[in-house]
Amino acid sequence: MASTESETTTFYQNVVVMRHGDRKDNFDPTWIKSAERPWDPPLVDNGMARAFRTGRTFRTILPFQIHRVFVSPFIRCVQTASEVAAALCAVDVEANAKSSTDVIKFDPSKVKVSIEYGLCEMLNKEAIRVDVAPKDGNFGFDVPLLETMFPSGTLDPSFERVYEK
């Protein structure tokens, strides 16, 4: 009996797991005192730059293309993923580019992005620093606003979240 192509072909799926970049509260301890959302610190500028460089590195050294980015709704994670996605789908970019702001043109067909609540650490006072966790337990993610942080066209509108708020 002759074997079909699907019986003899091996398919692979690659997964890259990455943490967020350098968060502001770890570099500026006074930030938390005036922060509106102390449980959700943004990245420092160097964290943004490192995320972009990481995306460029993924693009040049990985033996496969990254097609999909799933990200937690914390601002530091979205900022990290946004810079990585920008580097992955950059078309016209200067050799010395340091962030997505240096990218002239994007090809949004190269990578699709989805924000998934299920990728957060437990949203409770035990997992989030107890002194900064929201007292009412409402982490107040503004997903439509977070979605605007990604390069135009990279957000997957058909994505169905595993976990809702």
- β-pair partners for 64: none
Cα–Cα distance measured from residue 137 to residue 150, given in angstroms and rounded to the nearest whole number: 27
Ordered by start, the domain boundaries in the chain are 32-148
CA of 47: how far to CAs of 43, 79, 131, in Å?
Answer: 5, 9, 24
Cα–Cα distance measured from residue 128 to residue 14, given in angstroms and rounded to the nearest whole number: 30
Q: What is the pLDDT of residue 95?
A: 74
Please report which confidence band the pLDDT of residue 109 belongs to, taking 50, 70 and 90 as the band edges: very high
The pTM score is 0.87
Cβ atoms 139, 39 nearer than 8 A: yes
pLDDT digits (tens, 9 = 90+) for 9-65: 888 889 999 999 999 999 998 998 999 999 899 999 999 999 999 999 999 999 999
Nearest Cα to 88, choosing from 58, 50, 64?
58
Q: What is the pLDDT of residue 5?
A: 59
Cα–Cα distance measured from residue 24 to residue 54, given in angstroms and rounded to the nearest whole number: 19
Whether the predicted pLDDT of 93 surpasses 80? no
Q: What is the pLDDT of residue 68?
A: 95
